[in-house]
Structure 1
Amino acid sequence: MRRALILPLLLLAACDVPEAGDPEALKVAPVLDTPEAVDNQTFAKPLEARVVNVDLDLDLDFTGKKVSGTAMLDLIAKPGVEQVILDNDGLDIASVTDGEGKPLEYEVGEEVEGKGAPLTITMGDAREVTIAYSASDAAALQWLSPEQTAGGKQPYLFSQGQATLNRTWIPTQDSPGIRQTWSARITAPEELTVVMSGLSQGDPEAVEGGQDGKKRRAFTFEMDKPVAPYLIAIAAGDIVFRELGPRSGVWSEPAMIEAAAAELTDTEKMIDAAEELYGPYRWGRYDMIVLPPSFPYGGMENPVMTFLTPTFIAGDKSLTGLVAHELAHSWSGNLVTNAVWGDGWLNEGVTSYFENRIVEQVYGKERAEQEAALSYANIETTLAEVGADAPGTALHTESTGEELVGSAIAYDKGSFFLRTVEHEVGRERFDAWLRQWFDNHAFQPATSKMILDDMMKNLVESPEEAERLKLREWIFEPGLPDNVYKPDPKAFAEVDAAAKAFADNRTLDEKAWAGWSSAERQRFLAKLPRELDNAELAALDEALKLSANRNNEELFLWLDLAMANQYEAAVPQTEQFLAMVGRAKFVRPLFTTLWGEGAWGQMIAKRTYAETRDSYHSVTQGAVDKVMGRTSS
């Protein structure tokens, strides 16, 4: 499958890309040419030659755990440039040809730890190249056996590309600042359904059997808007679809579809709220897929197909702030993307702020304030651990390519930065500014300097206001500026009083607990004394039914507290939790707590990890390997 692509004659600097309003502006996004936009995590030299479109034709081999086929790349280059450099991490390259099928010279360079190896193609005057290749043991891909799925009958595959993992299965320029359109034709066993982060192009087509001789189907997808390449995503398995609204729906395994759909019934309300706040949703559909529990994140904002962990399903919509977060990424992160990973707060911090506004509009101010207070507590905890002036606590950091998940700086400090600005200038002015930021930078990369400059130009009204806002300090300096707009202390007044009562005299109010929101319960558990004896832990569990809790955020906090106190009664459930859940947010801290408990905890950690490691995605494996002092393979 090959779609027509008409490319304008242009150079590569941002000033030469078609202006907003030109139809071709949606096809070829600018590459920033400023020093702060240089991505040190890519081998590419996009100001010389760059990829503007990727056309994949791949087969999924579940037996060999391998993808193979071709990637056809459309390129643009400056006059006289005859080579293009791609990112590649472990790909097996069979051949490289031009648009007429003629072989092109290529070279795989020396491997660099954490980056892979450059793939340099001498394309001459060719602007279309086809790479025949295969990818085995790709870090972005997790292949699950039937036994690792809810159905137990069919295998499963899903990808996770952020930050720089997609180069392990797609040969392209794997940098968030080099946006690309893409299309794909994917063949898979006929029993399986394939979804991707692009719009499906009609019904699947029956095709001849693969090497195993079994019948197969081909699925086609297209993303006609330029996106950061880490947002190309795929999932395949025994999955079914449930419509949620006129432009939204959810996929999952059949055993989970009812619970998933019930938890997501507010999706259309969230889309409406987001559009009312910051403008139209520009991606067509907003579908989601609830993946098996080994998915390493809470969610991943892949365009038109958000990937979600099943751990957000609590039965009462108490954790659907996660859905609001991933939806908000359709503006901050997908529409306007950090050009380099050192500016990851432009994705996550802006999105976390936006998420809270959606929650306020759909679920009310009280819930939004409580969830904001939890975020603020994350900042305080992090700064207490690493130091208020630690260099890594600035929003803008040196680009390292490391994951942002769980970062109280990129997510929470970034959110409170915008929350503080909103409070200082007023919501009406702030919302008008943020909306124009999305509109004027749609489908383009951005940097911290750009958003600061934009604030100074389009938001700040006087030098005195600029001084009061402390914009540069928020973005480029460590720690938390003293003008931070703190959450209302009343948000958790009752809960904090209850936690203090327990700390002082071990008093528990079971009726109050039963009536609390999930945010309140999480706050209470986080505020409990860190040192408790077995009798006190048993009383807590019995009174609050913690071991039977269906809310994974609350259950995690209980198990972490229990392991920190070497509570033997909770060890079997902790081991079961670690065997069933692959979300790094839960798995990494639990192993960290166990490892810190000396011989007792390390014995449990080693025993459990020996059983669970192979069931985790490479993202979670890498995180736990560091905790355990183990070298990742």
Structure 2
Amino acid sequence: MRYSILSLCLAVAVAAGCDGAPPAHDTPRDAAMAAAEQQAVAEVDEYSYAEPDQVRIDDLALDLKVDFDNRQLAGSATYTLDWADPKANRLVLDTRDLSIEKVVGERADGKWEDLKFSLAPKDKVLGSKLTIEAPQRNPRIRVTYATSPEASGLQWLTPEMTQGKKTPFMFSQSQQIHARSWVPLQDTPRVRFTYTAHVTAPGDAMVLMSADNDPNAARDGDYSFKMPQKIPSYLLAIAAGDLVFQPISPRAGVWAEPATVGKAAKEFEDTEKMMRTAERLYGPYRWERYDILVLPPSFPYGGMENPRLTFATPTVIVGDKSLVSLVAHELAHSWSGNLVTFSTPKDGWLNEGFTSYVENRIVEDLYGKELADMEKVIARNELAEEYKQIDPKLQVLALRPGTLADPDGASSATVYTKGAWFLQFLEERFGRDAFDPFLKGYFDHFAFQSIPTTKFIEYAKANLLAKYPGKVSEAELDEWIYQPGIPASAPKTASPRFDAVDAARKAWLDGGALPEAAQTAKWSTQEWVHFIEGMPETLPADRLAALDAAYQFTGTPNGEIAQRWYPLAIRNGYAQANAAAAEFITRVGRRKLIMPTYNALVKTPDGLKLAEATFAQARPGYHPITSASVEETIAKAKQGAPSTP
């Protein structure tokens, strides 16, 4: 998944309970004792009620109806179970806001019988524990249920909120622990399962899932799916709406609304090349097809790596392929995350750090080292900003239990950027001739498994450190994984193109002229991002007006530029940008792009009023995950604001 960096800083700070205390660095300790301590907690998922050591879901069969009018999925989930413990006699599932109608179990004679069940009171983060009594240890159990219209993992859009304005739209977002809001499950990455699904919907809605979607499927309101590879619950996905398909290659293509599909297919036309690059480096693509579903702008993330069907934001379709690293990222998850999966959210870097590293290698291979290095620099600059304010406990790759109240509040800078930086450190120490085969071997060795950080460490010690002695010490490995901050040994990345941008910006700030059009006409999105990010916190309104007149930042269709320009303008009272900023955060629901603007608005009384008014208008089109972030930002600002007479 593509999370944000700066946009989650506020939520991270709240979740971490920052109190301004100095960084709490670990004292020296015995490496063997530390490893044993980590291993002891590695397989405990504190964000799930499930008991996978007792019984595991081996296969899931869904039978669901899509009800747009009532904003509801209703039907049944049937589980084929593997009773691991001979003494186990209950199945515990994770749920959130589900109405449980009935639970039955299959007897040895093939007949089904009612089973007793209880639904515990709701926990704000974890939802409700569903306990099913199964004294006969039934080989299959079926739960009949319905979702809530406010399910945290589903978004329902009216026709007016779509591009075509004729057909309603629905899509899921299961990561981190939102699958439980639309399917009762063992909602932990420790459990992997195959699944099938039968879904009915209105005849004008095409239904897709993270499964074997047929590009030639008839739109008839009756759909069947199969996912033969085992996946964790957060990769379970569904979407329904006015969707059509356009191929990119025999095994890849784009699904989108009719008005978008052609532009998306053009923007993402290098997808097959990306697949071949990743296969050359890390082994075969094991999921058969790789399709991309372009969702409405309300999708809260950049992308979501659902197997066979990446969900993607339309905000990366800017016409010049400058933001297609998002596709490289989600594709890379086909190896890091989907194939080899973290066993708990405490080990998120095993998914996102590895994926960010692989993404950068794909970008370098296809688009050149200059672009890959610019993207590294942008990410690391954002990491530096985030590390100025978040609790050091969130700056470690392998989180300790109890560190994070809600897995949605993890430090994205840590799991994405620090994780990728660590792998670049290993790459440079060992050389690509050694590190590339190691990484390919890692993906092969742990294919279709969910593992904790300790498993990676064991594998790295045996297949890198021991094989190439003297390159990296165990102490260095420990520092990267278990200590906060970035080690002094971290490799540096320079960008000559960014140096030129820095020089142009400095010349203007020092009283010179703005860069000539002949120079800026060649700038990529990344260079414009760096140009704006390097501006001082405060600028006079007339200087902002000069920038805007020269480069038309206000109203830009490029979300990466917009998310930097509008906060700069708002901070400095450049009111001419307010209307466009409000329009932008109303139209777009991607958290990374809109939260910086909300964070800037709420810092002044007038801005807070504009933020509240805009949110009231935009909220019906936001995903629940985005709404929660905006609500928290506004609420915190109001709590800190002086009372009005």
**Above 0.5 in TM-score?**
yes
Q: Is the 8 A contact 1:456 1:466 kept in 2?
A: no
Q: Which runs of 5+ in 1 are unaligned?
A: 1-31, 207-215
1:180-219 equivalent positions in 2, closer than 5 A: 180-200=193-213, 217-219=221-223
Partners of 2:515 and 2:609 in 1: how far apart? 36
Partners of 1:111 and 1:158 in 2: how far apart? 24
Tell me the equivalent position of 1:118: 129
Partners of 1:291 and 1:513 in 2: how far apart? 32
Helix, strand or coil for the counterpart of 2:592?
helix
Q: Residues 345 and 592 from structure 1, CA distance in 2 versus in 1: closer, same or farther, beyond 3 angstroms?
A: same
Q: Is the 8 A contact 1:510 1:543 kept in 2?
A: no
Higher relative contact order, structure no. (Cα contacts within 8 Å, ≥ 6 residues apart) = 2
CA-CA distance at 1:517 after TM superposition: 1.6
Report the TM-score when normalising by structure 1: 0.90
Out of 465, 472, 494, the position equivalent to 2:500 is: 494
Q: Is the 8 A contact 1:52 1:73 kept in 2?
A: yes
Tell me the equivalent position of 1:474: 480
CA-CA distance at 1:404 after TM superposition: 6.1
Tell me the equivalent position of 1:549: 556
Cα deviation, 1:115-168, whole Å, max 9, x if unaligned, reads 011111112221101111111221100000000000001100000000000101
Tell me the equivalent position of 1:562: 569
Q: Is the 8 A contact 2:95 2:184 kept in 1?
A: yes
Tell me the equivalent position of 1:296: 300
CA-CA distance at 1:402 after TM superposition: 2.2
Identical pairs, percent: 40
Out of 74, 93, 98, the position equivalent to 1:91 is: 98
Q: Say whether 1:524 aligns with 2:528.
A: no
CA-CA distance at 1:204 after TM superposition: 5.8
Tell me the equivalent position of 1:592: 599
Partners of 1:362 and 1:377 in 2: how far apart? 24
Q: Residues 33 and 556 from structure 1, CA distance in 2 versus in 1: closer, same or farther, beyond 3 angstroms?
A: closer
Letter in 1 for 2:335: W
Partners of 2:290 and 2:411 in 1: how far apart? 25
Letter in 2 for 1:375: A
Letter in 2 for 1:430: F
Q: Say whether 1:535 aligns with 2:539.
A: no
Tell me the equivalent position of 1:227: 231
Q: Say whether 1:579 aligns with 2:592.
A: no
**Structure 1 stretch displaced more, 604-613 or 154-163:** 604-613
Q: Residues 202 and 153 from structure 1, CA distance in 2 versus in 1: closer, same or farther, beyond 3 angstroms?
A: closer
Q: Say whether 1:398 aligns with 2:411.
A: no
Letter in 2 for 1:413: K
Tell me the equivalent position of 2:35: none
Q: Is the 8 A contact 2:205 2:241 kept in 1?
A: yes
CA-CA distance at 1:397 after TM superposition: 1.4
Cα deviation, 1:200-255, whole Å, max 9, x if unaligned, reads 3797689xxxxxxxxx6211111111111110001100111000001000000011
Partners of 2:558 and 2:544 in 1: how far apart? 19
Q: Residues 301 and 224 from structure 1, CA distance in 2 versus in 1: closer, same or farther, beyond 3 angstroms?
A: same
Query: How well do the aligned residues superpose, as a CA RMSD in angstroms?
Result: 1.9
Q: Residues 404 and 304 from structure 1, CA distance in 2 versus in 1: closer, same or farther, beyond 3 angstroms?
A: farther
Letter in 1 for 2:264: A
| Moved beyond 6 Å, runs of 4+ | none
Q: Say whether 1:104 aligns with 2:111.
A: no
Q: Is the 8 A contact 2:430 2:468 kept in 1?
A: no
Partners of 1:316 and 1:150 in 2: how far apart? 22
CA-CA distance at 1:590 after TM superposition: 1.2
**Structure 1 stretch displaced more, 375-384 or 604-613:** 375-384
CA-CA distance at 1:623 after TM superposition: 1.1
Tell me the equivalent position of 1:16: none
Q: Is the 8 A contact 2:71 2:156 kept in 1?
A: yes
1:110-149 equivalent positions in 2, closer than 5 A: 110-123=121-134, 124-136=136-148, 137-149=150-162
Q: Is the 8 A contact 1:406 1:585 kept in 2?
A: no
Tell me the equivalent position of 1:318: 322
Helix, strand or coil for the counterpart of 1:385?
coil
Q: Residues 34 and 438 from structure 1, CA distance in 2 versus in 1: closer, same or farther, beyond 3 angstroms?
A: farther
Q: Say whether 1:484 aligns with 2:490.
A: yes
Q: Say whether 1:426 aligns with 2:426.
A: no
Partners of 2:635 and 2:450 in 1: how far apart? 37
Out of 423, 437, 442, the position equivalent to 2:447 is: 442
**Structure 1 stretch displaced more, 118-127 or 40-49:** 118-127
Q: Which runs of 5+ in 2 are unaligned?
A: 1-37, 638-645
Helix, strand or coil for the counterpart of 1:480?
coil
Partners of 1:184 and 1:110 in 2: how far apart? 29
Report the TM-score when normalising by structure 2: 0.88
Tell me the equivalent position of 2:59: 53
Out of 65, 71, 76, the position equivalent to 1:70 is: 76
Tell me the equivalent position of 1:245: 249
Partners of 1:186 and 1:617 in 2: how far apart? 22
Partners of 1:222 and 1:463 in 2: how far apart? 46
Tell me the equivalent position of 1:350: 354
Partners of 2:474 and 2:345 in 1: how far apart? 28
Partners of 2:131 and 2:449 in 1: how far apart? 26
Letter in 1 for 2:235: L
1:598-613 equivalent positions in 2, closer than 5 A: 598-613=604-619
CA-CA distance at 1:398 after TM superposition: 3.4
Partners of 1:171 and 1:470 in 2: how far apart? 42
Q: Is the 8 A contact 1:39 1:340 kept in 2?
A: yes
Partners of 1:607 and 1:103 in 2: how far apart? 50
Partners of 1:298 and 1:467 in 2: how far apart? 36
Q: Residues 286 and 555 from structure 1, CA distance in 2 versus in 1: closer, same or farther, beyond 3 angstroms?
A: same
CA-CA distance at 1:421 after TM superposition: 1.0
Tell me the equivalent position of 2:18: none
Helix, strand or coil for the counterpart of 1:546?
coil
